[in-house]
Structure formats: structure tokens, C-alpha cells
Amino acid sequence: MQQLRRIALPKLIVVLSLISFLLPLQATGADLALASVSAVAVDVTDSQVLLEQNADIVLPIASITKLMTALVVLESGTDLDEWLTIEDWDRKTAKNAYSRIRLASSARRRDLLRIALMSSENRAAYNLALHHPGGFDSFVKGMNTRALSLNMRDTHFTDPTGLDVTNRSSAADLARMVIAAYQQPLLRDYSTTRQFTVNFKQPRYRLAYGNTNPLTGSDRWEVGLTKTGYLTEAGRCLVMVTEMAGRKVGVVLLNSLGTRSPLGDAGRIRRYLEAGTRSNVAKAALDHRAQVMQTLGLSVQ
């Protein structure tokens, strides 16, 4: 099976972070098994690649999309305290479009942004785009423009939720997005919020939300930014920034089997970077990865 190799940490850091994440990520070899089809770990301070696995494969990214949605909302300068009226989907949506938010009610833009990140609320993300200056199409165009500005050449967005399977990217590209998002304190705060209750009006009601990444509630992890994603076509996906080996490390994990698989991979990467320790991957997860690789016409060692 294909595996991962750790890259030796440099003694001197000479790359400026605002420039380095625009440069191509460096490829590595392999000696650590992971469940995810594609993975990369980078130092978010200097963009150094610490390890990777199939990082340039282009795959569906599901709700990892919402991290770019949040970047576009925040960088647009729109009023985060503005009350937005919740509208229904006006176009064909993919599966998993369930939402508890009532149509025609209103919520603040900042609250919709928070629950889109922490709880992957699809209707919240959709309405953030719908109420963007210029509307939905202008918003999606802005997502793709922002991706190009980050040198995300293998990335394309079709919608702001990730429900559309044509939202595609690579782990290498997403690492650049993670580094950019981590520069925004509000996105760090919102994405790692463990529990949050939104107050709606017209009519007045409240909805409680939890974080889709359970590691945000673990004392063993210091999560500084995160987003999860899932579609049948995308598998289980996870991006996050956390402490590993005394560094702030951005981790991107795409297409693994089972809700716990990307969390397990995050632990495998941390143990490997900190102690060189390797751990086993469940056979079902490895079989899933091999099947996806075969479908993509790629060899599995």
C-alpha cells in the first residue's frame, strides 16, 4: 500500500509565510500508512510540508468548501450584524440538504457564518451566498477568484455548501486555503466553537448546534481551526490546525471510510511527527482507499 514519509524539520526558517503559501508544495515519499486517500500536513507558519500522501489528486471535497465560503464572506466586508432573511433553495441541490432553520425567519450574518463552519449548516452557508452583494453567482465567482489568488490551480467551486459533487480540490491546494483561513482570528474562533445557540426572529425561536469535529472538545487536542466534510462521493474529510511537535500544523485529510477514520489519521500523523510512531489502520479503511485509488487509475503499493 502507498504510505507516507516524514520530512526532516529545518534548523532555520527563511520563508516568509505570506509568500510561501503561494508557492508549489514539495512532494515527499512514503513510510506511514493512513486511511485517507489523500493527505498533507504543513507548518502554517512557514508553509513547509511535513508529510504528504497523494496530495495532488483532485477529489470532491464536500463541506470543506465552507471554509472558502467563510473566507469570502469575511473578506467581503459585509456587515456581520445584519439580519438576513432565510430563503429556500432556488436551484437543484445535492443530497444531505436537510436543515432545521425555518424559512422566512431571520438570523444575523455572523451567526449563520459560525454555524456554517462549526456545524456545517447547509442552509446557513447557502443564504450567506444568496445575500452577498451581487447575489449567489457573484459569490461563487468570488470563491473561485480567491482560490486562484492562493494559487489553488486544481480547485473549482460550484456552490458554497459543498453539497455539489463538482466542488473539487486537492489536499495540496486545501493546505493553502487552511493557511489563509488561519490568518483570520474570527474563523479560528467560529470553526472551533464547541456549542452555540442561535437566536432567530420572525418568528422568534432558538436552535442549538454542536461542532462536527469532536476533537474540539478533547483535552488532548488544541484545535485552532477546523472543518469537516462528507458526501458519498467524497468520503469523510477533515481539515484542521493543531499543535504537533511544537508546531502549528495544518492537516488536510480527504476521502476516508467511516466517521472516525480522519480523526484516527490525525492521531497517526501527530504520533509520527512527535515520536516517529506508526500505528495500524483498519483493513476496511485500507480496502476503501485501495478501491478509490483503483477507480482513479492510480497504483496502490
Q: Residue 93 has what pLDDT?
A: 61
Catalytic entry in 66, 191, 227, 261: 66
- SS3 (DSSP) at 107: strand
* Pairing mode, strands 195-200 and 247-256: unpaired
Which residues share a beta bridge with 51?
Answer: 41
Within 8 A by CB and 6+ apart from 164, the residues are 93, 94, 158
Identify the active-site residue in 36, 63, 191, 256: 63
List Cβ neighbours of 137 (8 Å cut-off, separation of 6 or more). Answer: none
Is 63 known to be catalytic? yes
Spatial contact of 211 and 220, defined as CB atoms under 8 Å apart: no
Tell me if residue 120 is catalytic. Answer: yes
- Measured in degrees and rounded to the nearest 5, phi and psi for residue 85 equal -80, 130
What is the CB-side half-sphere exposure of residue 187 using CA atoms within 13 A?
23
Q: What is the pLDDT of residues 6-65, one digit of tens each?
A: 544 443 333 333 344 444 434 343 578 999 999 999 999 999 999 999 999 999 999 999
Handedness of CA 229, 32, 59, 154 (dihedral sign): positive
Which residue in 20, 36, 120, 256 is the catalytic one?
Answer: 120
Q: Is residue 296 packed enough to be buried (19+ CB in 10 Å), middle (13-18) or exposed (0-12)?
A: middle
The answer to pTM > 0.85 is yes
Residue bearing cell 467551486: 157
Q: Where are the domains of the chain?
A: 1-55+272-301, 58-238
pLDDT at 299: 78
Residue 234 has a pLDDT of 97
**What CATH homologous superfamily does 58-238 map to?**
DD-peptidase/beta-lactamase superfamily (3.40.710.10)
10-residue mean pLDDT profile of the chain (301 residues): values are: 45 37 42 93 97 96 98 97 93 69 97 98 97 96 98 97 96 98 98 98 97 97 98 96 96 95 96 92 93 87 56
Is the separation of the CB atoms in 170 and 113 below 8 Å?
Answer: no
